[in-house]
Amino acid sequence: MDNWRKPSTISYKRWSNPQLRGEANFSAQNDEIQGTDNEICTIASPRVHSRTNESGSRPGFDQTEATFTVDDALEAIGYGKFQWKLALLTGLSWIGDAMEMMILSILSPQLHCEWRLPSYQVAMITAVVFVGMCFGSPTWGNMADNFGRKVGLTICMCWTLYFGLLSAFAPVYGWLLFLRGLVGFGISGAPQAVTMYSEFLPVKARGTCIMLIAAFWAIGAVFEVLLALWIMPTLGWRWLLGLSTIPMAIFLCFCFWLPESPRFDRLTGKTEKAMATLIRIAKENGKEMPKGKMAACKKNDRGRLKDLFSPQYWRTTLLLCFIWFANAFSYYGIVLLTTELFQSKDLCGTTQGAKIEQNCSLECKYLTSADYKDLLWTTLAEFPGLLVILLLVDRIGRKKSLAMCFFMFSLCILPLYACIGRLALTILIFIARAFISGGYQVVFVYTPEVFPTENRALAMGTCSAMARVGSLITPFVAQVLLRSSVYLTVSMYFCCSLLAGIASLILPIETLGRGLQESSLDQEARGQTTTTNPRSYGTASC
């Protein structure tokens, strides 16, 4: 027995193939250190006396038993039939999110005419949805980190469906305002679909697949415009509100199929449940699981806001909060600027800095079929932007792709200082919206990759809340400030996007090819390992 009390020896193995790292129990690395294809892991083994070696292995001690992590399993299973089904189901929540957001640009002018609302009350219909989102985003993120991704996403879809249907029966303005605020609170949980989906993807497929699921948002926005074009002239806005909840209803009908994230189950100690989920995925994809047993993961408190501002993450958190803010501020700003600039009587004078004439607050103008068609063309700009970023995000990396989107948006905004024609203005706005919507998708790829499982959903919720703050502020710039000074308005969008591009480049790490982290506790363990051998490298798994 004395032989087993002696100090352990630490041996180092360099893996040239990440697929073979399952024999070791890896620890997560600090945010500042990158994982590489050539990894050195540590394997602790007892120092055994030579006589023991001569007589054979100690009974009951299996020295060859291999272990693997969720990352190892997902890499072995690969991308297949299961992930396609998951993409379609989680994509329904994105379609519902897009439709509820797109309906704001259709509902406001209709109620302005039908209920004879002044301008500030019309603006409140949009603002109250974003206020609800500001409170809902971190709430749903905390729930998903503590009770599971499936639980958080399912409850938020139930909430949104219920209050979305009730808002279609709102008798007066006050009730509509209250119910739409609750819809905003619920729909803010939709980004957790990306958190959940990302945790089922192998490393190489993650960037492309998350970008593809983001295409459901653009599909939802286009579908809402087409639905409004069909419904509004005959049945009215109440039917539009009711029918816009159909994607969420379909999601809830099939949500029983959704498994819980194996990363979450493993982190919470439910290793057997995580194994069962991985075996199910392997069976559906027609692949085999890695040999051995799943490595245990250290338990840690989950969903704590203070962890986002720990020494490992505070810089990343602050930069991402600003990037999300700038993304929403610029995206909704270009949407609102499109309408304001096109409705201006003297377009050339407007773009040279002249004030836009104030309209009567009770002036009523219903949306026509031509307006819906223009809105549709503007919305279609998101597809080419998504295609461009899809080709770049796994080639030049997340940080450079995100920075390029902001810089291109700034470049397209610059000509608005000069006198340009309507055609040129339309083309520039089309390109600007394409790139800023592409940037929105890149940040959805990057954020889940950079935070560990224990607070990944909370990080998404917190960053999403900052985006809603940007959405709240931008109407006052694009609609109110624009009437005083076009130069100042354009300058604010230009500077904000330029700073966001710089912030993207100075993010601490590039997550391209990097495994998802499981727990921040493992970063401390890896930190000790790297001090033992400065040549060691790390991965993001426990």
Residue 13 β-bridge partners: 41
* Token pair recorded at residue 19: 């697929």
CA dist 460 to 396, 452, 512, Å? 23, 11, 18
Q: Higher-confidence residue: 23 or 286?
A: 286
pLDDT digits (tens, 9 = 90+) for 229-245: 888 888 888 999 999 99
Q: Does position 368 have pLDDT exceeding 70, yes or no? A: no
User: Residue 207 — very low, low, confident or very high, per pLDDT cuts 50/70/90?
Assistant: confident
pLDDT digits (tens, 9 = 90+) for 33-48: 443 333 333 333 333 3
d(CA 291, CA 288): 9
Mean pLDDT across the stretch 317-323?
A: 92
pLDDT digits (tens, 9 = 90+) for 131-186: 888 888 888 888 888 888 888 899 999 999 999 999 999 888 889 989 999 998 99
Q: Does position 19 have pLDDT exceeding 50, yes or no? A: no
* Token pair recorded at residue 269: 């100690």
Mean pLDDT across the stretch 425-446?
A: 85
Mean pLDDT across the stretch 453-470?
A: 83
Residue 382 near residue 433 (C-beta atoms within 8 A): yes
Q: Does position 356 have pLDDT exceeding 70, yes or no? A: no
pLDDT number for residue 138: 84
Q: Does position 471 have pLDDT exceeding 60, yes or no? A: yes
Residue 266 near residue 518 (C-beta atoms within 8 A): yes
Q: Higher-confidence residue: 377 or 136?
A: 136
User: Of 149-158, 287-296, 511-520, which range is least confident?
Assistant: 511-520
Q: Does position 534 have pLDDT exceeding 50, yes or no? A: no
Average pLDDT in the chain = 75
Q: Does position 520 have pLDDT exceeding 70, yes or no? A: no
Show the domains of the chain with their CATH numbers.
Answer: 66-299 (1.20.1250.20), 300-345+365-508 (1.20.1250.20)
User: Residue 61 — very low, low, confident or very high, per pLDDT cuts 50/70/90?
Assistant: very low
* Token pair recorded at residue 8: 């352990």
